[in-house]
Chains A and B, each alone.
Chain A
Amino acid sequence: MTTPRATTMHKELRVAETKDLQSRIQEALQDQELRSNFRGAMDFLTAKRASVLPDAAEFDAWRSEGEAIRHRCLQKLPELLEQFEAAATTNGVRVHWAETADQANEIILGIMQSHNAKRMVKGKSMASEETGLNHFLEAHGIEALETDMGEYIVQLDQSQPSHIIMPAIHKNKQQIAKLFEQKVGVDYTEDVDKLIGIGRQILREKFAEADVGLSGVNFAVAETGTLCLVENEGNGRMSTTIPPVHIALCGIEKVVETLQDIPPLLRLLTRSATGQEITTYFNMINGPRQTNEPDGPREVHVVLLDNGRSRIYADQQLQQTLRCIRCGACMNHCPVYSRIGGHAYGSTYPGPIGQVVSPQLWGIEKSGALTQACSLNGACRDACPVNIPLPDLIRRLRHEGNDLTATSQTPGKGSQRKTLEAISWRLWAWLSTSPKLYRLFLRAAGRFRLLAPRKLGAWTEYRTAPRPAAESLHELAKKHLEKNYE
């Protein structure tokens, strides 16, 4: 089967092009409207989250439990995947396995073609953003329409989500009003109820006529073969209920063992993501419409997507990435994300989790520079409901980008190495491990201190250059000892 050009082109769009990261960041920092949109959204989300969390000790207990559940389920992943497949199949769900993004897209296209389907409505699915499904289907003459209000806005704007939970937070209502005026052809209105009403009306028609509904999955329960979806709008329910065929795209790491694993994870997810004790809908799908049932899809498919996850799984440290429940709290609390916004990262997954996931999915060569957009302040780690040590993983990937001898499986390891930087570190290591040389160097540095460079590139743009002291600490201490204790 041929791979249409659109797929490749599309991937380039979503994957960070490292050389552009700096300029994207600069651009974002100078866009005052964008910055105020993000500031407002981040303040809102962090305050709402804080308002529904119990005290720190209790929350720590909750997330230790969340971590332990995700950890246990990942430990048993191969077994649970097979158990899930068996249970779902018994329920009448058709289970497909996809090794790569392209394979997943082909499977979905195949299902659509077998039904002569031309119109797809989509509930929110970050995995489908990851595989570039929309562009792929469009290249095959299939309309793939986003129906989550935020995703719909982003699609109207021919743009991409800037946040994994709130896709359109980079826009304020004036900008959305303008977009609706231009793209939908309605009168300009900043009334949010009216804008949502317009979206509702258009999308309801689409739901009614769609051939296929696609959704993501928040949890897949191995014991029962259940697909769980968490949402507020009802577009997820529409997409999985109204069209005759429902396809769920599910990362292989989403599997949990039993129904009892759900409550502790759900309370962490909704609180961390949107500051809600629970969302409007928790949708548990167990199978297609039975012959005696009047509604529901006649076919339910689930596509289990690997796309690099099994490689991440094999690494003792990086496997912790897979605990993620995609709540977005790490980006909401990140001082970098909240200032530059999601698009500057140039990746499907922005923010701290994006900095960890992207290099692992698309390689350090393409996405490794993302790990530099971090001050290692640890706010993401403190917010994460499943205790993923994000700063450690970011540091690990930074290191791996410079390490030619890394034994890990991460693609593109060593690709970020810069010769000058490497030589400088070598030199420093050599100096520091030889006491004689080191002291000689220090003395020379003190003697010729006035010759130390004043301009050190980006470092001195906002700081004064450090100047060596006339006498080193070592020398001072030695003098002090000689004077007082001889």
Chain B
Amino acid sequence: MNSTHDLSQPNPERNSQAKQAILHRLQRYQPVKPTKQAHSEKDGGDMTPAAKSPADQEGFLAKLQAAHTEVISTTGANWQEALAQDLSDKQIDPLLYAPGHSNNRSLTGLAEKGLELVKFDIPIEEIKDRMFNQIQAGLSHAVAGISDTGTLVLATGPDEPRTLSLVPEVNYMTVRASRLFPDLQTAMQTTHFAQLPTNMLLISGPSKTADIQQTLAYGAHGPKRLVVLFIQDN
């Protein structure tokens, strides 16, 4: 292998050789008909009609809970208080948050309760150890909810770090009732999907596994608890 070539970059010569060879072989394709003649892609059952039905709030919350997600119903004015209450009831701190997020500009309600808040505005390398070993909870904000599967849509970015919803044992996540969509297809029409962030996540519960004798266990690698602060705005 070429010793001067930077191995972290695709080796231009070898890469284009492999690419051309593969694409060349793919040219030998001869089409075959799908197994059934009559169907078209529009046959997709209830998915398209569902897009017209409104998002079902009750259904959304029921699905969340069925997946072991805890739900706290609250309002735009009170969510911080509700969060503070849960944190102090369960004796959870510190809480990690991204100070740049518009929802996090004034977390005064939390500070007043004497809860320890840790800002996540430095590269993860500088806080990794603490994040894995000491910080108990992360606060994130979903950009949308999907009611037919009980799913939260998280668009990560500078003010919504990926690890907030991944590393700490408890993940608090807000979602607004007004941002509820009936299904994934409809949610995909929103601007977040038109301009995808570096990491887009659909989250439907706390981390779990059934890899040992089909026995469900929560907190396999990610959060053991997912707590949704469901914000009814009015």
Give the B-binding residues of A (Cβ under 8 A): 1, 37, 40-41, 44-45, 54, 58-59, 61-62, 64-65, 67-69, 71-72, 75, 77-78, 81-82, 85, 91, 94-99, 103, 106-107, 110-111, 113-115, 147-150, 153, 166-169, 171-173, 176, 192-193, 195-197, 199-200, 203-205, 207-208, 224, 226, 232-235, 237-238, 241-242, 245, 252, 259-260, 262-264, 266-267, 274, 277-290, 292-296, 299, 301, 304, 306, 310-311, 313-314, 316-317, 319-320, 387, 389
Roughly how many angstroms separate A150 CA and B213 CA in the complex, as a whole number? 10
Q: Is the CB of A64 within 8 A of B36?
A: yes
Given contacts A61-B45, A278-B151, A285-B199, contact A234 B18 (CB under 8 A): no
Number of A-B contacts (CB under 8 A): 293
Other contacts beyond A283-B201, A294-B121, A320-B32: 11, CB < 8 A = A65-B43, A149-B220, A153-B212, A176-B213, A196-B217, A234-B223, A245-B8, A263-B47, A263-B183, A282-B202, A282-B204
Which A residues touch B163, using CB under 8 A?
241-242, 295
Which A residues touch B162, using CB under 8 A?
237, 241, 295-296
Asked if B44 is at the interface (CB within 8 A of a chain A CB), the reply is yes
Q: Is the CB of A293 within 8 A of B161?
A: yes
Q: Is the CB of A68 within 8 A of B123?
A: no
Which B residues touch A277, using CB under 8 A?
63, 148-149
Given contacts A280-B204, A293-B198, contact A310 B22 (CB under 8 A): yes
Q: How far is the CB of A178 from chain B (nearest CB, A)?
A: 13
Q: Mark B201-234, 1 if CB is under 8 A from A, else 0.
A: 1111111111111110101111100000000000
Given contacts A234-B222, A237-B166, contact A61 B212 (CB under 8 A): no
Given contacts A294-B161, A313-B25, contact A64 B212 (CB under 8 A): no
Stretch at the interface among B70-78, B83-91, B124-132: B124-132
Give the A-binding residues of B (Cβ under 8 A): 1, 6-11, 15, 18-19, 21-23, 25-32, 34-36, 39-47, 63, 67, 98, 120-124, 128-129, 132, 148-151, 156-158, 161-163, 166-167, 183-185, 188, 193, 196-215, 217, 219-223
Which B residues touch A284, using CB under 8 A?
196, 199-202
In this complex, what residue of A is CB-closest to B126? A294
Roughly how many angstroms separate A306 CA and B24 CA in the complex, as a whole number? 12
Roughly how many angstroms separate A310 CA and B204 CA in the complex, as a whole number? 36
Which B residues touch A304, using CB under 8 A?
22
Q: Is the CB of A97 within 8 A of B15?
A: yes
Q: How far is the CB of A471 from chain B (nearest CB, A)?
A: 44
Q: Is the CB of A294 within 8 A of B158?
A: yes
Q: How far is the CB of A131 from chain B (nearest CB, A)?
A: 14
Which A residues touch B45, using CB under 8 A?
54, 58-59, 61-62, 65
> Which of B23, B156, B212 makes the CB contact (< 8 A) with A196?
B212
Q: Is the CB of B8 within 8 A of A286?
A: no
> Which of B22, B128, B158 makes the CB contact (< 8 A) with A97?
B22
> Which of B40, B67, B198, B209 makes the CB contact (< 8 A) with A149?
B209
Q: Is the CB of B185 within 8 A of A252?
A: no
Roughly how many angstroms separate A282 CA and B152 CA in the complex, as a whole number? 10
Q: Is the CB of B43 within 8 A of A61?
A: yes
In this complex, what residue of A is CB-closest to B6? A114
Q: Is the CB of B123 within 8 A of A319?
A: no
Given contacts A166-B211, A196-B219, A319-B29, contact A281 B8 (CB under 8 A): no
